[in-house]
A and B are shown apart, each in its own frame.
Chain A
Amino acid sequence: MIGRLRKPRRRGRKKILAISSGGGHWIELMRLRPAFEGHDVVYVTVSDTYRSHVQGAKLRVVPDVTRWDRVGLVKCAARVLGVLLAERPDVVISTGALPGFFGVVLGKSLGCRTIWVDSIANVEELSMSGAKVGPFADLWLTQWRELERAGGPEYAGAIL
């Protein structure tokens, strides 16, 4: 288990792996940043060009992938696993899409606590990743009150 490998941290200070693909998912992740204050954050996304967004914080890059690219899916998952093993975070948080899905699913199986914030773009139904990620997310959030349900995602406000 990853937890046993961790160096003890200063009381209350957690190491957070914040992971998403590019574009809207990344913009949504950036809007969550105040939640991370007082913790150590490692950002993971699909392009090095987002480095300027995270002012000096650590940024790691994994390959982007679509769900139709089987080889890409395996490569992406493997890279995300590598990042998890290298960073050993306490918490993994994602706003989607596939790289984030792998981050939460693999993170959970390695003993991290996990958060999935489903994209605001999924108004009528949860994203495909969101619907599948539920069992692996310790905190599973939707940004639309009407999508909240018992045993499903919780609504606790939006990134707006």
Chain B
Amino acid sequence: MIFVTVGAQMPFDRMVKAVDEWAAARKRADVFAQIGPADYVPQHVKWTRFLEPDDFLARYREARVIVAHAGTGSILQALELGKPILVMPRRAALRETRNDHQVATAERFQSLGRVPVAWDAGDLAQALDRIDGLSSEKTLGPHASPELIARLRRFLDE
């Protein structure tokens, strides 16, 4: 199952539509999308608007691969579970988000070699064609870096 998520806060119709059109063209019945407060309703994939955190986690666990907006939570949860994830950043210029933090986040995770990025809808369609070959990176541990934990502990012990 391919699990698609755009988070709960804002629509991301550009991504949902690209996934929907790809699923139609490739006759894929194994796609489930969480679309948020979207205006565009998918015609070719199963979808829901919102998922409670527990249900969201269950979907993540069941999925073979995740396709997500470049939200920190979406990316971190995939890495923690060792699920392959493909992201597409929201763009401020298209009113998909407040500022271009998702572009920066995507660049950063991409440069760490952890997350492939589709920069636009065309990119996404091409990346989806290769998605069955996308394999899981090694799992990210459940906690922050030892350095950060140690710094916080030092402060707490003062």
A residues near B, CB below 8 A?
12, 14, 16, 22-28, 31-36, 39, 47, 49-50, 52-53, 91, 93, 113, 115, 117, 119-124, 127, 138-139, 141, 143, 154, 156-160
Judging by beta carbons under 8 Å apart, are A121 and B144 in contact? no
List residues 104-124 of chain B with CB under 8 A from any CB of chain A. 104-105, 107-108, 112
Q: Name the residue on B nearest A28 (C-beta).
A: B72
Judging by beta carbons under 8 Å apart, are A32 and B101 in contact? no
Judging by beta carbons under 8 Å apart, are B148 and A23 in contact? no
Q: Name the residue on A nearest B151 (C-beta).
A: A156
Q: Which of A39, A49, A117, A154 contacts B52 (CB 8 A)?
A: A49
Asked if B133 is at the interface (CB within 8 A of a chain A CB), the reply is no
Q: Which of B101, B142, B158 contacts A31 (CB 8 A)?
A: B142
Q: How far is the CB of B43 from chain A (nearest CB, A)?
A: 28
The CA-CA distance from A157 to B150 in the complex, in Å, is 10
Q: How far is the CB of B7 from chain A (nearest CB, A)?
A: 6
The CA-CA distance from A124 to B107 in the complex, in Å, is 11
The CA-CA distance from A16 to B156 in the complex, in Å, is 9
Count, chain B residues at interface, CB 8 A: 37
Judging by beta carbons under 8 Å apart, are B101 and A123 in contact? yes
Q: Name the residue on A nearest B102 (C-beta).
A: A121
Main SS of chain B's interface residues? Answer: helix
Give the residues in chain B near A139, CB-CB below 8 Å. 151-152, 155
Judging by beta carbons under 8 Å apart, are A158 and B148 in contact? yes
Asked if B76 is at the interface (CB within 8 A of a chain A CB), the reply is yes
Judging by beta carbons under 8 Å apart, are A121 and B101 in contact? yes
Give the residues in chain A near B73, CB-CB below 8 Å. 23-27
Judging by beta carbons under 8 Å apart, are B72 and A35 in contact? no
Asked if B71 is at the interface (CB within 8 A of a chain A CB), the reply is yes
In addition to A117-B148, A123-B105, 19 A-B residue pairs with Cβ atoms within 8 Å of each other are A12-B157, A14-B156, A24-B73, A27-B76, A31-B76, A49-B53, A115-B152, A120-B72, A120-B108, A121-B72, A121-B104, A124-B100, A124-B104, A139-B151, A156-B151, A157-B145, A158-B144, A159-B76, A160-B144
| Known A-B contacts A32-B149, A122-B101, A157-B147; A39 and B156 likewise in contact (beta carbons under 8 Å) | yes
| Known A-B contacts A24-B71, A157-B146; A35 and B76 likewise in contact (beta carbons under 8 Å) | no
Give the residues in chain A near B7, CB-CB below 8 Å. 23
Q: How far is the CB of B115 from chain A (nearest CB, A)?
A: 12
Taking each of B7, B152, B158, which has the highest tally of chain A beta carbons within 10 Å of its own beta carbon? B152
